[in-house]
A and B are shown apart, each in its own frame.
Chain A
Amino acid sequence: MFLKNSIYFFKSAIRERNYLFWCLAFPVLLMIILITIFSSLYEVKRVNFDIYLMKNESGEFSNIIYNIFDELSKGENKIFNLKVFRDISIKENLLEDLKKGKTNLIVEIPEGFDSLVISNITMRMFGATVNPVPIKVYTLRHNISSQSASMVVKSIIDRMNLEFVKRMTKVNEYKVKSEILGSRKGFSYVDFIFPGMIIIAIFFTGLFGVSQELAWYREGKILKRFQLTPISPLNFFLSYFLSRFYFFILQILALSFVGKVIYKSSVNPFSFYFIFYVFLTMLTISTFGFFISALAKNTNSANIIGQILNFPLQFLGGIYFPVNDVPWFIKWIVIINPITYLASGIRDTLGVMPSPYPIYLTILVPLAYTLVFLLISIKKYKYMEVT
C-alpha cells in the first residue's frame, strides 16, 4: 500500500510538465550554462588583446619595445592585435576608442624616451641612483580584458628591465608556478559545481515542489478527504516523501550523466560520502518544504515564502562562490543557512574543496534542521487536522 501510493505520487509528479521542467530540466540547463561559461574562464588559452601603441620615436629602445609587441602579434598564438600610431596629436581620439571598447589598452612611448633610457643606463654605470624612464599605459577601469592586457604589458616591461640589467650584472632568475585553491586534485570547475548543482536541484524541488504541493493539498481540502479513506496520515506523508525521493534520484541521475559522461567530472557519484550527503540533503530540504507548507496559509503563500527564501539561501550558501568574507549582518544568513553546511560537507568529503567548518557540523546542523522542521510541521499539521 505504502509503496504503491508512493509510485502513484511519483507518476503524478512526472506527468506535470511544469514540475518536470523546473525541477529536472532547469537544473541540468543551469549546470550546462555554468560549466560552459566558467570552464572557459579557468582555461585561459587563446586570449588576445587589441592594443594601440603610440610611438613617434625611432630610437633603439623604443624600437625594441615595438619589435617585441610586433612579434607577439604574429602567428596563431598571438597575444596582441597591434595597431601603431605615430601621430600623438590624435591621443584624445584613441582614448575615446578605449572608452568605447574598440581597443583594450593604449601604450604610449613618450617623446624623448630613447635618450632618457640611454642617459639612465649611463648614469647607472657610474653608480648614480636614477628614476626609471616612464612608459605610459592607459587601462580601462572595470574592464577585465584591459586590466589583463595591462598585466601582460607590465610583465613584458619587467622582463625587458631584467634583460637590460643582465647585460650589466649577474641576476638570479626564479621559476613561477601557480595553483588555484582549493582543490586537493587540481582545480576543476566541473568538480566544483557538480555537487553544488545536485544540492540546488534538490533545493528547488523541496522549496517550490514539496512546499507548494502540500499547501495545495491542504488548501484544496484533499488531505481532509484522505481521512475518509483507509490511508492513514502517516501512510500519506511517508508515501509522498518517498515519491519525492524517487524524483530526487531521477534528478541526481540526470545531473550525474551530464557531469560524469559529458563533462568528465572526477567526482564519483557512487562514493559513500556522495550518497550520504545527497541523502542528508534530501532529508533536510524535503522537511524544509514540509515546514514551509505548514507555515503557509495557502499555495500562493507557500510560493511567496519559497521565492523570498530562494535567492538568499541559494546565493549565500556558497554554491557559486565562497561567502566567508561578508559583513556580520549578511554573515548570519550564511551561518544559519543549511545549504552552507551541505555544500561545504559534500565538497570536502569528495576532495573538491576543504570545508571552512568542521565536518561534524556539516552533518549535525542539517540534521538538527531536519528534526526541528519535522517536529514543528507535524505539530502544525496535527493542529490543523483537529481544527
Chain B
Amino acid sequence: MIAFINIAFYRIKSFYRDTFTFLFTLIFPLIFVIIFGFVFGGSNTGNNEYGITLGVIRGNEDLIQVLKNVGDIKVVVLENEEELRNQIIKGYIDGGVIFDGKEFNLLINFSSFQQKPFLRTLGENLANAYSLHEIGMDKGIIKVEEEFIDPGKARVSSLGYSIPGVLSFSISGSIFTMIVLFGYYRKRKVLKRFAITPISPMSFVSGMIFANVILSILSCIFVLFVAQIIFNLNFSVNWGLFLLSLFSSILGMMALGIILTVLFKEPQTASNVGNLLVNIMLFFSGVYFPLDFLPKYLKILARFLPLYYVGRALRISVGVEGGDLSFIYILSAIMISSFVILITIFGRKVLSLEED
C-alpha cells in the first residue's frame, strides 16, 4: 500500500516533467479554450440570440428598419458595396444585404454559414417583411413570439456550450497513459526491473493509473475554472455528477488505450492509431462545429465514438444540456466496468508476457 501511495505521489510530482501528458492534458485544452473563445466570441445570449450581424449600405433606411423588425439581428451601416463585401470577407460581420429595388442579394460569410446554416433562410424572411413594411404593415397580422429554452440549467454562450467538448479532448489523453504503461514500458521491460525491488509491478501500474486519473481530473477542473474566469461563463456544475463523469470517462478512455495496446503490439503504432482516433473523435464531439447538419451516416458514426457520449455526460453535469441522470449513471457503469474487465484480463496478460 505504501509503495502504491509513493508511486502515485511520484507520478503527481513528475506531471509537468512528462511533457507529452502535460501538454495533452493541460496545455492543449487551455490553448483550445483561449483560441476558440476569442475567435468565435461566444456572447450570443441575451439580445442577439442568433448572434447575427448584418451590414447594410447607408441610405437604405427602410431596409435597416425592416432588419431590426425581423429581430435578433445586429445591423451595421456601411458606406458602399465594396466596404460591405470587404467586411464580410474579412469576417467582421456575418453577412450583408444589398437591395436594388427589385431583388435582395443576401451575402453570407462562409465561416458564419458554417456555424449558422440557417442564415440562408433569412433572405426569404427579409423579402416578405420588406413587402409588408412598404404598405405600412410591418407587424403583419400574425407574429411569431420566440422563446428560447435553455437545454440545461445554466444559461451560457455557445462557447460555454462547447467547453465540455474541450474537456473531453483533455480526457482523451488518457488513452496514451495506457499505451505508455502497457506499450512502451512493456517494450522497454521497465516493469520487469521491479522484480529486483520490493515494489510489485501491480503496485507500480495501479499507482501510476491512480495518479493519472487524479491529474486528469484536476486538469479538467482547472480548464473549467480558467474558462469560467476568462469568458465569464456561469455553469451550473453538479459536482457529484461532474466528478463521476470525469472519473468514469477517464477510465473509459484508458480502456480504449488498453484495447489499442492489445491490438497493436508495436507501441508506436498503437500511439499513432490512438492519435488518429482522438482526431477523428474530436471532429464528432461538437468542439469544432455543430453536429446537427451532418449527413445521417456521419451522425450514426458519431454514436459509435466514445467521446460523443463523454461530451454529452460532461454537458449534462455542468448544466448546459438537459438529460436523464440515468444517462450518466449508465455511461459511468459501462466505462468503469469496461476498464475493470479489460485491466483484469489484459493487464495480467501484459505483466505475464513481460515476465516471459
Q: Residues on A close to B: CB < 8 A? A: 17-18, 21-22, 26, 29-30, 33, 36-38, 40-42, 44, 47, 61, 95-96, 98-100, 117, 120-121, 124, 131-145, 147-148, 150-155, 157-162, 164-165, 169, 171-183, 187, 192, 300, 303-304, 307-308, 311-312, 315-316, 321-327, 329-330, 353-354, 356
Contact partner of A161 (CB less than 8 A), chosen from B141, B269, B280, B289, is B141
Whole-angstrom distance between the alpha carbons of A143 and B292 in the complex?
A: 8
Chain A residues positioned under 8 Å from B102 (CB to CB): 174-175
Q: Which residue of A lies closest to B96 (CB)?
A: A181
Chain A residues positioned under 8 Å from B99 (CB to CB): 174
Whole-angstrom distance between the alpha carbons of A145 and B111 in the complex?
A: 17
Whole-angstrom distance between the alpha carbons of A316 and B118 in the complex?
A: 26
Whether B83 is near chain A, meaning CB under 8 Å from some CB there, is no
Chain B residues positioned under 8 Å from A96 (CB to CB): 322
CB distance from B313 to the nearest CB of A (A): 14
Chain B residues positioned under 8 Å from A29 (CB to CB): 276
Whether B135 is near chain A, meaning CB under 8 Å from some CB there, is yes
B118 near A181 with CB under 8 A, answer: no
Interface centre among B125, B155, B161 (most CB of A within 10 A): B125
A132 near B114 with CB under 8 A, answer: no
Chain B residues positioned under 8 Å from A326 (CB to CB): 38-39
Whole-angstrom distance between the alpha carbons of A174 and B123 in the complex?
A: 10
Contact partner of B91 (CB less than 8 A), chosen from A21, A140, A322, A354, is A322
Whole-angstrom distance between the alpha carbons of A351 and B116 in the complex?
A: 25
Q: Which residue of B lies closest to A150 (CB)?
A: B146
Q: Which residue of A lies closest to B130 (CB)?
A: A174
Contact partner of A158 (CB less than 8 A), chosen from B88, B104, B129, is B129
Interface centre among B35, B102, B294 (most CB of A within 10 A): B35
Whole-angstrom distance between the alpha carbons of A138 and B145 in the complex?
A: 9
Given contacts A181-B109, A327-B38, contact A41 B122 (CB under 8 A): no
Main secondary structure of the interface of A (DSSP, over half): helix
Whole-angstrom distance between the alpha carbons of A98 and B322 in the complex?
A: 9
Whole-angstrom distance between the alpha carbons of A148 and B113 in the complex?
A: 12
A144 near B293 with CB under 8 A, answer: yes
Q: Residues on B close to A: CB < 8 A? A: 19, 23, 27-28, 31-32, 34-35, 38-39, 45, 49-50, 85, 88-92, 99, 102-111, 113-118, 120-132, 134-135, 137, 139-152, 155, 158, 161, 268-269, 272, 276, 279-280, 283, 289-290, 292-295, 298, 320, 322-324
Q: Rank and list the top 4 A-B pairs by shortest CB-CB distance, nearest first.
A: A161-B140, A322-B91, A99-B322, A158-B128
Interface centre among A41, A157, A165, A176 (most CB of B within 10 A): A176
Chain A residues positioned under 8 Å from B161 (CB to CB): 142
Given contacts A41-B293, A176-B103, contact A181 B151 (CB under 8 A): no
Q: Which residue of A lies closest to B24 (CB)?
A: A307
Chain B residues positioned under 8 Å from A120 (CB to CB): 141
A140 near B151 with CB under 8 A, answer: yes
A300 near B293 with CB under 8 A, answer: no
Chain A residues positioned under 8 Å from B322 (CB to CB): 96, 99-100
A325 near B91 with CB under 8 A, answer: yes
A-B contact pairs, 15 of them (CB 8 A): A37-B289, A41-B289, A47-B293, A136-B147, A139-B49, A139-B146, A142-B161, A145-B292, A151-B122, A161-B137, A172-B131, A174-B131, A177-B104, A183-B110, A330-B39
A136 near B123 with CB under 8 A, answer: no
B103 near A177 with CB under 8 A, answer: yes
A140 near B117 with CB under 8 A, answer: no
Interface centre among B111, B118, B129 (most CB of A within 10 A): B118
B149 near A138 with CB under 8 A, answer: yes
B92 near A324 with CB under 8 A, answer: yes
Whole-angstrom distance between the alpha carbons of A120 and B131 in the complex?
A: 19
Chain B residues positioned under 8 Å from A162 (CB to CB): 128, 131-132, 140
A158 near B141 with CB under 8 A, answer: no
Given contacts A99-B149, A161-B140, A354-B89, contact A330 B124 (CB under 8 A): no
Given contacts A33-B280, A159-B128, contact A100 B323 (CB under 8 A): yes
Whole-angstrom distance between the alpha carbons of A136 and B88 in the complex?
A: 33
Chain A residues positioned under 8 Å from B124 (CB to CB): 155, 158-159, 176
B123 near A176 with CB under 8 A, answer: yes
Q: Which residue of B lies closest to A33 (CB)?
A: B283
Whole-angstrom distance between the alpha carbons of A137 and B148 in the complex?
A: 9
Q: Which residue of A lies closest to B41 (CB)?
A: A325
Whole-angstrom distance between the alpha carbons of A151 and B141 in the complex?
A: 18
Whole-angstrom distance between the alpha carbons of A177 and B294 in the complex?
A: 24
CB distance from B314 to the nearest CB of A (A): 14
CB distance from B345 to the nearest CB of A (A): 29
Chain B residues positioned under 8 Å from A150 (CB to CB): 118, 144, 146
Whole-angstrom distance between the alpha carbons of A354 and B152 in the complex?
A: 41
Q: Which residue of B lies closest to A61 (CB)?
A: B142
Whole-angstrom distance between the alpha carbons of A61 and B89 in the complex?
A: 43
B135 near A171 with CB under 8 A, answer: yes
Whole-angstrom distance between the alpha carbons of A140 and B149 in the complex?
A: 5
Chain B residues positioned under 8 Å from A132 (CB to CB): 139-143
B149 near A139 with CB under 8 A, answer: yes
A182 near B85 with CB under 8 A, answer: yes
Given contacts A144-B117, A155-B125, A158-B128, contact A37 B294 (CB under 8 A): yes
